[in-house]
Structure 1
Amino acid sequence: MRMEKERKEDPKKADRWRHFRYVILSHKPSFPVLVAVTMEELQLLPRRVRDFASSDYWERFFRERGGRAFEWYREWKELRTLLGRYLRPRDSILVVGCGNSELSEQLYDEGYQDIINVDISEVVVKQMKQRSAHLRPKMTYMLMDVLQMNFPDERFQVVLDKGTLDALLTDGEDTTLSRAERMFAEISRVLQFGGRYLCVSLAQAHVLKTAIEYFSREGWMVRIHQVSGNASGTSEGEFALPIFVYVMTKIRQVPDSALYILELCSEAQDKPIRFKSTEHLIEAVKERQQYFLLRNQLNKNPNSGTISLDLCSKDTGQARYTLHVVHSLTVKVSCDNQFAIFIIPQGRETEWLFGTEEGRKQLAASAGFWRLVTVALHRDQHYASMGAIQAELSEKVMELAPPALPAQQQVPFLSVGGDIGIRTIQHRGTSPLSGQYIIEDVKGDDAHYFRHLIFLSNRNVVQSEARLSSGGSHKGNKKHKKKKEAASGNPAEPSAVPARQSIDKSFLCCAHHRAMVAGLCLLKNPECLPEALFHVLVVGLGGGSLPLFIHDYFLQCCIDVVEIDPAMLEVATCWFGFLPEDRLKVHIADGLIYVDSLAAEASSPYDAIMFDIDSKDSALGMSCPPPAFVEKSFLQKVRAILKTEGIFILNLVCRDTLLRDAVLVTLRETFPLLYSRRIEGEVNEILLCQQETRHKLLPVELQGTAQVLQKALQQPGQAWDSTYVLADVLEAVRLM
């Protein structure tokens, strides 16, 4: 069973989303966001990336460029504050791959006069000597390859590299990596202990990994800074990526020490963040790059759709927050409603309002903000309080503010009800067919608690859901008590999920299940169905809510459930209140084979057949059912085991419109009478199929029939969910 997006408990209550109670938790100041510019002088770029490491290319480049300075990766005025932290006027500085940048000249003019510059281009060395001969008499330029330098050991306190490593390390090939290690070895040789290798870089993945792993392995202190400031100055060769500075400090190794000093300073941070491994540091830099690109995209084209980003824990590297940035084009922008942050309570990220692009846009519109950042909290992460979440997120989410927002503008944090919600993981398991799964209980928006089945291969989709009711003790809780305590996402709190609970069997959480049950009104004499003897086949068990509801409200109905995954039967019985008995039998089998074997017997045993089957192939445009279940040859077998006046009900989840149209054509060829009911706020579409067109009802007539069925189902003493109105469920049915 699969529920796409979020249930809507009553289609007529769609407007309730517009009346959500938004709680302003606090205000935090925003920070202006600046965007990098694109590269110029395209005619001077090489045809192949590897040519950046060629001396012949740079000879041609500087010959054609002439004496005019060319700045890669920002100018001195943008690097001064950062580089100045690691430079002293009396330092002996080696600038490798100097090119015709003005960086060395500007350093000299600010008092750093012990500078030697080297480059592999004879043309540029000659140009730079001539340029500085009279103005900077102590400046030295030398023709030299950084892979083999003619300097004595420990000659310099600083080696400064602005783009040279990036030019040399063009790819991850072994020969290229070998050249980079030769460069690092030479830098290490000529640096004194306590000296710094300052490298200005784009921090491409292979460059970053190679540099960090080499110097950390050598026992150096590794610190990485993201360069802040305006990237739209006069620098040429700017990239739509952030600029970083690696600060590699040569320190004496402690024998038998496995201690690494790995740190990152983001734009707004003075205090570095320390990491336990090179992998975590690399991931943190990648996160900063993603942020920069996201900001760039937002500011260039804010109406391009939803932009998403995961923020990971620096300690574990696991995703901790998922951010979605959405815009509401219906909101008239003013100073006070440009930007807000919405924190989604735990366990509710799968709901339609929070888990779909359409829902998030409606959320932004109803909250009255032009740009809204929604923040989803991940399971298996601990969150102390709403205040702690705000403190952790403030710096990062504020970087996503519109650039026109005043620097001191107060930005609200919003939530529902003002708390972080409750999520308790009750059980973890592994299925040979579905992989790892969890059972979790979450608090809804009306003080009710809900139990979810989540396959971790598709962790943002609720596969099965049931509402909990306080009272009876559910047997699954006792059986898995220790596991529950060990796996709980948060420690026990006074507001935790009630200890005594049972499944509310009168409540169908899934809107598509409600539509499937309502479709039974198409059977003959619906007013007699609650007491009539008839047979139903359900393919796909999940948590068992659908067959269990039919069993409890159609008192003489006999139900065969076919489920291919034996683990799901254990899940349903232990955690969702499902209990097989004489009228409710479960067959562990492949639905294709089960139907095929019955069709071979040439019998028509079923009055109704329901397919609610999850596809395990996430690459398909149709996630329910698997394609083999809607092939014409198989559908003909389904028709063969269905009574003439019976009904076939299919839960279709298909995002590919062409594939959906093909499925509908095949269904109409097999079942001439076809009704469609799309589920609001979900991808699900319920198809009601019959063999005889003489029983065709107009949608309004179908609603009347549904009213008759509901009246018959609401027996004295039998609980009935007041929000479940069969006629309303079928209000949007279309005759195909």
Structure 2
Amino acid sequence: MNLLPRNHSEFHSPQYWDQFFQKRGTKAFEWYGEYPELCGILHKYIKPADKLLMVGCGNSQLSENLYDVGYHNIVNIDISDTVIRQMTEKNRQSRPDMKFLKMDVKNTDFADGEFAVVLDKGTLDALMVDDSTEVVADIDAMFTEIGRVLKQGGRYICISLLQDHIMNKVLKFFPNIGWPIRVHKVNTEDSENKDKEFNMPVFAVILTKFKKLPNMKQILEVGASDDKVERMESTDKIHTVLKEMQYYAIMRQQIKKRELVGEQVSLSLYSEVSSAPRYTLFIVDSADQKFTNKFGIFIVPEGREIEWMFSTDEGRQKLSQSAGFCRLVVVTLNRAHTYETLDAIKSELSPHVLELAPPNFKSGSQVPYLSLGDHKGNRTVRYTGTSPTLGELVVEDVVTDPGQYRRRLVFTDNLPYCEATLKPEKKQKKGKQKSKETGRFILDKSCVDCDYLRAMVTGLSFVTGKTGQAKDCYLSDCKVLVIEWSNAGLSVVLHHTFPKMALTVVFPDAVIQQVATDWFGFSPDKNMTGVTDGPSSFISTTAKQDLVVDAIVVDLDYLKSSLTMENFLQDSFLSDVKKLLLPNGVLICKCQCDPDKTKETLLTKLSSSFSRVFSPAIDDSSYTVVYALCSDKDTLDTATANCKYLSGKLNVKDDGDDVDLSQTLKNLTLFKP
């Protein structure tokens, strides 16, 4: 039996609803949940003595359910004469105090302030079919009439799917007239009604009639359930949280029905309502669906969610293949929340992640939880701040592998993070006594232990220095310019190892320089200076002063400043860069970019300005490092010898093992356009 309207205008027609209820008969039509699912919220906001108006009652049993548990002062209205006659006859004997009246919610006969509560279960959604001018005018009339019949302090309780146009209307109309808004998500997932009319998430919007006061701050609250409520800062925040809840519900239904090979879906989980999700879940379906293990959950240790393996589609796909599951749900923990133990996290996740099982997963099967070790990880926030150039940032100490400690600079706007190695602080003893660890950790300023940083240091092997190849003087009397965007990691290592090297470090702004100083060991002196003029203007100004340097290092992860990849590749900028370099100088570039497109563009452009352009192979394919040499002389043998010297001076490691930087030069590719 088709009960759907032929077009949206029929929802406004009494004739449509008469026909609807004639076809439907006496079978209750429950919009968005039944009494057992709604009672926990309704009883919180409606007192048995309250006079209650049910608008657009239809033949729902909700009024009857409320009446039967003691709410006897209920008036029901609907525009359908048919349903009013049906419901009056049905309840005449068993519920004599309950009234059913044919009336339009936009224009009622009730007195001002007659009701303590107006209850709307799906009526707003039925009437507001779109946001056209005519429909919006009707909704304005409905809201105004509801406000008129409510007493001061009374509540309008609206059960709704909160589709986008409806959510926008509610979040605009009621704050403008000074009414507080509280939204609860209704728990309909565990309903015994298997023949639901709707599978979208259902919300109960609680709107309280207040007199608007001058300069009154909006009261906006969201509850993930009927007893957990949190204040939101703005309508944008509340909109974001509600949309995430809807998205989770929709995607949960979709991924139960099909495999997601070749695509990755992410879901946010708000177990405690917040402007930031408590968990982010990535559903990864392996290309090999023949694995014996069908479904598993991988919990990323706290503090490691920004690493390549867990933060990129490619990394998570590799993780899924290594784990050997047809579907792996990768779970990351948000830094805005605290977590007790790994077992507590598993317990909290269990009711939710089991809903994400793949198609044909055998119900009742045990789902394994995986992680790196048997602990939840460790994250200690040291500093939070805001850079005028790069946005909100966090400095945090994390434990990666057992015994390995990192300090990270993380940007909340999804810019690439950077890190430095920490080592145990040791207290020196007198005489022959061995030094003893203090229990604190300090920066290891000589450690070079990530792919791109090793490759950048290797680029300095092409620098000869004014004193030729005397190894004890190599790099000590050189001048190096570093265009930085983050923690000055390379500069700190170079200054610690070669304190006489003349280093100029260009930061994106003063906040980033201060963070580098306070937390990452950047310590300006006569040989190392910091500049915050902006790279483009600094390079242009310096090039006009006939100053020259041996090497320029450019970190092109600096994406939100004036020095984007596009600006860097401008002929005028590259011309100024080359003016600053000695005839045997080297330009070292590092960026996180698409290896097939951006890297090719970078190499092609540099080869038009420099004599030779090399690209070393590094394990982390998300980064590209390029060396552009001014001289066309073959200096590879000299560079290899310099690499061995650098490896001896620096603490160069890969996965904890010592590394000879000259190995990087063996995998060097000369770019030929």
TM-score band, normalised by the shorter chain? 0.7 to 0.9
Q: Secondary structure at the match of 2:459?
A: helix
Letter in structure 1 aligned against 2:591:
L
1:724 — aligned with what? 659
Give the TM-score of the pair, scaled to structure 2.
0.75
| Contact 2:115 2:150 (C-alpha < 8 Å) held by counterparts | no
2:200 — aligned with what? 241
1:597 — aligned with what? 541
| Contact 1:93 1:157 (C-alpha < 8 Å) held by counterparts | yes
1:398 — aligned with what? 354
1:385 — aligned with what? 341
| Contact 1:465 1:509 (C-alpha < 8 Å) held by counterparts | no
Distance 1:556 1:221 in 2: 63
Q: How does 1:360-439 map to 2 (within 5 A)?
A: 360-402=316-358, 404-439=360-395
- Tell me if 1:708 matches 2:650: no
Letter in structure 2 aligned against 1:326:
V
| Contact 1:624 1:651 (C-alpha < 8 Å) held by counterparts | no
1:11 — aligned with what? none
Unaligned runs of 5+ in 1: 1-39, 251-257, 267-271, 475-496
Distance 2:303 2:463 in 1: 38
Give the TM-score of the pair, scaled to structure 1.
0.70
Deviation at 1:631, TM superposition (A): 0.7
2:560 — aligned with what? 617
1:45 — aligned with what? 7
Letter in structure 1 aligned against 2:473:
E
1:506 — aligned with what? 446
| Contact 2:406 2:419 (C-alpha < 8 Å) held by counterparts | yes
Q: How does 1:123-134 map to 2 (within 5 A)?
A: 125=81
- What CA deviation, in whole Å up to 9, does each residue of 1:172-213 have, x standing for no partner? 988566324335347747x9x9xx987542123236648997
Distance 1:728 1:322 in 2: 39
| Contact 1:518 1:729 (C-alpha < 8 Å) held by counterparts | yes
1:24 — aligned with what? none
Deviation at 1:500, TM superposition (A): 3.2
User: Judging changes above 3 Å, is the alpha-carbon distance between structure 1 residues 629 and 105 closer, same or farther for their aligned structure 2 residues?
Assistant: closer
| Contact 1:473 1:502 (C-alpha < 8 Å) held by counterparts | no
1:468 — aligned with what? 422
Structure possessing the higher relative contact order (Cα contacts under 8 Å, 6 or more residues apart): 1
Deviation at 1:677, TM superposition (A): 3.5
Task: Work out which of the residue numbers 238, 251, 265 in structure 2 matches 1:294.
Answer: 251
- Tell me if 1:227 matches 2:155: no
Deviation at 1:635, TM superposition (A): 0.5
1:308 — aligned with what? 266
1:685 — aligned with what? 624
Task: Work out which of the residue numbers 143, 167, 178 in structure 2 matches 1:181.
Answer: 143
Of the structure 1 ranges 651-660 and 419-428, higher mean CA displacement relative to structure 2 is found in 651-660
Q: How does 1:87-486 map to 2 (within 5 A)?
A: 96-97=55-56, 103=60, 118-120=77-79, 125=81, 143-150=102-109, 161-169=120-128, 171=131, 175=137, 178-185=140-147, 188=150, 199-204=158-163, 205-206=167-168, 209=171, 225-228=186-189, 238=198, 241-244=200-203, 264=223, 272-277=226-231, 285-303=242-260, 305-312=263-270, 314=272, 317-330=275-288, 332-334=290-292, 337-402=293-358, 404-458=360-414, 461-462=416-417, 464-471=418-425
User: Judging changes above 3 Å, is the alpha-carbon distance between structure 1 residues 654 and 719 closer, same or farther for their aligned structure 2 residues?
Assistant: closer
2:503 — aligned with what? 559
Distance 1:349 1:430 in 2: 21
Q: Secondary structure at the match of 1:461?
A: coil
Task: Work out which of the residue numbers 563, 566, 588 in structure 2 matches 1:649.
Answer: 588
- What CA deviation, in whole Å up to 9, does each residue of 1:347-366 have, x standing for no partner? 11111112222112222222
Q: Secondary structure at the match of 1:416?
A: coil
| Contact 1:536 1:558 (C-alpha < 8 Å) held by counterparts | yes
Distance 2:286 2:229 in 1: 38
2:609 — aligned with what? 670
Q: Secondary structure at the match of 2:543?
A: helix
Q: Secondary structure at the match of 2:335?
A: coil
Size of the alignment, in residue pairs? Answer: 626
Unaligned runs of 5+ in 2: 44-49, 210-216, 429-436
2:481 — aligned with what? 537
Q: Secondary structure at the match of 1:538?
A: strand
| Contact 1:72 1:235 (C-alpha < 8 Å) held by counterparts | no
User: Judging changes above 3 Å, is the alpha-carbon distance between structure 1 residues 72 and 509 closer, same or farther for their aligned structure 2 residues?
Assistant: farther
User: Judging changes above 3 Å, is the alpha-carbon distance between structure 1 residues 439 and 342 closer, same or farther for their aligned structure 2 residues?
Assistant: same
- What CA deviation, in whole Å up to 9, does each residue of 1:592-635 have, x standing for no partner? 233223432456x22322112543528xxxx9745322211110
User: Judging changes above 3 Å, is the alpha-carbon distance between structure 1 residues 469 and 559 closer, same or farther for their aligned structure 2 residues?
Assistant: same
Distance 1:634 1:602 in 2: 16
Distance 1:648 1:376 in 2: 38
Q: Secondary structure at the match of 1:397?
A: helix
User: Judging changes above 3 Å, is the alpha-carbon distance between structure 1 residues 627 and 72 closer, same or farther for their aligned structure 2 residues?
Assistant: farther
| Contact 2:182 2:223 (C-alpha < 8 Å) held by counterparts | no
Distance 1:351 1:636 in 2: 36
